[in-house]
Structure 1
Amino acid sequence: MPHAEFARLRREAPVAWVEEPAYEGFAGGPGFWAVTRHRDVITVSKHPEIFSSHAGATFLRDQSPRDLAALQQMMLNIDPPDHSKLRKIVSKVFTPKMVNGMFDSVDRYAAQIVDDLEPGTEVDLVEKVSSEMPLLVLAELLGVPPRIATCSTAGPTAWWASTIPPTVAGPRSSRLHGDVRLRREADRDPPGEPRRRRLEP
């Protein structure tokens, strides 16, 4: 993180135009405004009617119309009041009581991940450990069985990739969408035995 450069921008040019030159296969972009001072960032965040997250999504690089339409469905790229409604639903999961209630599950998942590692072997820490934990916790929040979250042989991030719109993630994600959908249907709750879900409208 270029802390010194950001400090210079905050001091000398808190709202600065940044060019997007071509490099390493990137054709270049039109450029963007970088807002680096705290009070200015607060102002931007409070005025979505001027600084929209939805209009061009929240990626620095411009997206194709097809990809943009898919990205605009994601919560990160939705403006109020719709964003506020979704945030109200999600916020119920992160109250102190709900978070404290997940400690046992997190401990269990951590132990499970470590126990699955083969002693004395070299592993990719991101693939085998740090990417597994958030997937398992997220699966519990959404009411998705852990075996579905880690079901694909494509790797521990396969389930998460399957939640990305196929138009954004490409053919691989499309196949995972179908695989996860079938597994979810096969795992539907028996009549009279609804699975507990933490996220409810």
Structure 2
Amino acid sequence: MDINLVDQDQYASKGAPHDQLRWLRENAPVFWHEGDAERNWPGFWALTKHEDVVHVSRHSDLFSSSKKLALFDEMPEPQRELQRMMMLNQDPPEHTRRRSLVNRGFTPRAIGKLEEHIREICHQLVDEAKAKSSVDFVTDFAAPLPLYVICELLGAPIEDRDKIFEWSNRMIGAQDPDYAADPDEGQTAAMEVYTYANALAAARKDDPQDDIVTKLLQPAENGETLTVDEFDLFVLLLVVAGNETTRNAASGGMLTLFENPDQWARLVADRGLAGSAADEIVRWISPVNLFRRTATTDTVIRGQEIAEGDKVVVFYTSANRDADVFESPDVFDIGRTPNPQIGFGGGGAHFCLGNHLAKLELRVLFEVLAERVPTLQQSGEAARLRSSFINGIKSLPVTL
């Protein structure tokens, strides 16, 4: 079988290459994937089994997020140096220090306090959509919800959500012609987010509020604080990760429910299934398709020798369909239990900080949709994002 797991045109036209991933899980779970000189990326080890993705995720000492960063594409060292200030691209102990500072704003108690507000937002989105002549699930539901929540977390004006949406699109959609005019667009958008974060921090120092920005700018119990650059990069991470994962899980989940009308009917009949539905949607969609690590020493996985410095790429999309872990993995079942999906990472240092928040947003959104618009239907073809990094949907026309 011809294997190309990072062909962006494949993701844009059909979504993730599940046939290739299944073949690799069964025949070559630790697979040497050829590189591409034209696109300036080297060959890499593709890991497709749940157990191996978890192993890599939980051993930052063996598989570094910092050496060559966590993103797939290669960068020159000066650019990597800047990116290493972001938690995503750090290893313990530096990552541990930063995460402990940021964790203060993401405790289960702090997230739980948002539930009723998230429910109000979802009802408001339904009301607004009902007043429109044409509705797109992405721009009318999936995108606004996390954007409203990000504005709430940052204490930013709600009207800033459109700017945040546009910045996120330009940073994530660098390979999609609908979002990025040229390759530098993502970098320009990032600089605009830095400037925005700076202004936000300055405003909170003068006028503290009950929001995550104020919490993060205050010293921790041990007296440590985030530097200006660290704070700016955290806001950048929140703008992208806090938006893209929920947005694409929600839109991909809705499309999957349209494709599995029996499961939508189950949810409408029993909205108590919304919690397990959120987990199954994350398993099925895997909003983040892959992350990259770099081997810090010679090591072995499944008998395959991996050399120090080798590029290692873990595929969450594949791990979440592993038949050794999930019964009937190619069946979408909103009541699936247990469901050890790793759509938010395989544990370890980089397990998604906002996973509780993302699942809360998904649960409440689908509860409200099942209650308010049980006859929701797809009315046009879905348009997928041209990206091998994010399993994204740009447009999904619906009728209420």
Mean CA deviation greater in 29-38 or 114-123: 114-123
TM-score, normalised to structure 2, is: 0.40
Give yes or no for contact 1:162–1:177 (8 Å, CA) kept in 2.
no
In the alignment, structure 1 residue 78 sits paired with structure 2 residue 86: no
Which residue pairs with 2:32 in the alignment? 17
Amino acid at match of 2:165: T
1:140 to 124, 145, 152: 152
How far residue 91 of structure 1 moved from its aligned partner, in angstroms, is 4.2
For the residue of structure 1 that corresponds to 2:131, the secondary structure is: coil
Pair 1:174–1:86, CA change in 2 (3 A): closer
How far residue 106 of structure 1 moved from its aligned partner, in angstroms, is 0.6
In structure 1, C-alpha distance between the alignment counterparts of 2:194 and 2:108, rounded to whole Å: 33
C-alpha deviations, 1:21-59, integer Å up to 9, x for none?
Answer: 36xxx6352111112233333332233233111111112
Structure 1, unaligned runs of 5 or more: none
Which residue pairs with 1:36 in the alignment? 48
Amino-acid identity (%)? 29
Amino acid at match of 1:174: M
In the alignment, structure 1 residue 150 sits paired with structure 2 residue 161: yes
In structure 2, C-alpha distance between the alignment counterparts of 1:93 and 1:180, rounded to whole Å: 16
Which residue pairs with 1:170 in the alignment? 187
Give yes or no for contact 2:171–2:189 (8 Å, CA) kept in 1.
no
Pair 1:80–1:190, CA change in 2 (3 A): closer
Between 1 and 2, higher relative CO (CA 8 Å, sep ≥ 6) is seen in 2
How far residue 133 of structure 1 moved from its aligned partner, in angstroms, is 1.4
In the alignment, structure 1 residue 62 sits paired with structure 2 residue 74: yes
Give yes or no for contact 1:113–1:129 (8 Å, CA) kept in 2.
yes
C-alpha deviations, 1:123-168, integer Å up to 9, x for none?
Answer: 4432343222112212333x3223364264xxx514657999xx88
Amino acid at match of 1:13: A
C-alpha deviations, 1:40-89, integer Å up to 9, x for none?
Answer: 33332233233111111112221233432332222111111122233334
How far residue 95 of structure 1 moved from its aligned partner, in angstroms, is 4.2
Which residue pairs with 1:49 in the alignment? 61
Moved over 6 A (4+): 161-164
How far residue 177 of structure 1 moved from its aligned partner, in angstroms, is 4.3
In structure 2, C-alpha distance between the alignment counterparts of 1:81 and 1:170, rounded to whole Å: 28
Which residue pairs with 1:129 in the alignment? 141
How far residue 9 of structure 1 moved from its aligned partner, in angstroms, is 1.9
Q: CA RMSD in A?
A: 3.5
